[in-house]
Amino acid sequence: MAELKQFIFFDFEMKCDDRGMPYENMEAIRLGAVKYDLQTRRITSFDRYIQPASREPLSPFCKNLTGINDGDLETADPFPVVYSEFLFWIGGVKKSRFFSWSKSDLSRLKIDSHLHGLPAVTLEKIEKRYVDFQDIFSKGVSKVNLSVENALAIYGSPFEGETHHPMYDSYNTLRVFLHYYSEPVTSDIEMARAFILNGEEIELATINERIKEVLTLDIAELTDNLHFAYRMTNARKFLKKVSKTVGKYDNILLNRSGIFSEDVQHLVHQLHAFNKNLHESFQEHLECSSRIMIIDDYSETALKNLK
C-alpha cells in the first residue's frame, strides 16, 4: 500500500426541501474540500458548483439554507466532470485518507457516482480509506452528534468562514480533527462530562475523584440488582444494564491524555472483567437451554469487591 501523505476532508451541499425529499433525489450541487499535507502541514482547497441531472429549480428553502441559486448551477459542470477534477486535485487516492463530518457525504458520493454510471473502482478505493470523523468524535468526546460549530466550541474556537459552504465546512472539520489530536486533555475532560458526569463542570484537579464517586454509585446500583438466580429474560435485561454501565467508562481505558488515575482505570478494568464473565456465563446457560441463570460466586464476589 502507498505511503500515507495527505488527508482529504470533503463535504457536499445537496438539493433540499423543507417539505421533504427522498435522499436519492438530493443530488449534490456543490463540492468543497481541503487537502492537508502531513509533511508540510500545508492546506489547499477545492470548491466547485455541480449542475444536477434534474434541472428543476431549487426550493426557496434550499436557496436560503445553502446560499446557492439556480444561476450558480446553470453554468456549472455536471457531476462526472467535477468528480474528475476532484480526483485530479487530490493527486493520488492511494496516498490519501478521506474524512467527512457524517457518512452522508460518502453516501452522496456513491449515489451520484452510480447515477452517472461512473466506474466503481476508484470509489471503492476512497471508501476503503474513508473515516466518518463525526462518529469518531461522538464516540470519543461528545457522546452525541454535534455540528462542526459546536464541536469547535469545546476547544474555544469559533467557526471560520461561511456556514453551509462545503469548503469551509471541510476546513472547519479539519480544525476539529487537529484540536482533537493536539488537545487530548480538553477532549478527555469533555468526554468525562458527556459520558460520565451528565454535563457537570469539572476541574482537572478533581476529575479522578469525581469519576470514582460516580463509578462507585454505578457499581452499587448494579450490586443492588444482582441476584443469585434470574429467569433468562430478566438475565438478558441485567446484562444490557451492565453493558450500558460499562460503556460509559470505555474511554477511560483509552486514556489518550493520561489524566485518568491508575485507581480509576483499575476499577474500570475490573468492571469490564465482570461484564465479560457475566456474558460468558449467560451464553453457557443459553446453549444449555436453561430457563434460569445462576450467578456464580466468583462474579458476585468480584462485583461486590468493587464497591
* Mean pLDDT of the region 209-213: 97
CA Rg value for the chain: 24
Across residues 46-73, what is the average pLDDT? 94
Least confident of 11-15, 26-30, 89-93, 278-282: 278-282
Boundary (domain end) residue, out of 182, 204, 235: 182
Q: What is the pLDDT of residue 302?
A: 67
CB of 207 within 8 A of CB of 263? no
Judged against a pLDDT cut of 70, whether residue 214 lies above it is answered with yes
Average confidence score pLDDT of the chain: 94
Q: Give per-residue pLDDT as tens, 37-51.
A: 999 999 999 999 999
Q: What is the pLDDT of residue 304?
A: 67
Do residue 202 and residue 78 come from a single domain? no
Place of cell 446557492: 68
Q: Looking at the domain assignment, is residue 188 inside a domain?
A: no
Q: pLDDT band at 1, cuts 50/70/90? A: low
Q: Are 196 and 212 in contact (CB under 8 A)?
A: no
Domain-terminating residue out of 135, 161, 182: 182
- The answer to whether residues 152 and 258 belong to one domain is no
Cβ atoms of 298 and 218 closer than 8 Å: no
Mean pLDDT on 271-278: 90
In terms of residue numbers, what domain contains 151? 6-182
Per-residue model confidence (pLDDT) at position 228: 65
**Residue keyed to cell 466503481:** 120
CATH assignment of the domain containing 156: 3.30.420.10
Residues 289 and 220 in one domain: yes
- Say yes or no: 75 and 149 in one domain: yes
Q: How many domains does the chain have?
A: 2
Is residue 110 predicted with pLDDT exceeding 80?
Answer: yes
pTM for this predicted structure: 0.91
Cell numbers 430457563 label which residue?
291
Residue 296 in this model has a pLDDT that exceeds 90: no
Structural domain ending residue among the three candidates 182, 210, 226: 182
* 174 and 248 part of one domain: no
Q: Are residues 279 and 156 in the same domain?
A: no
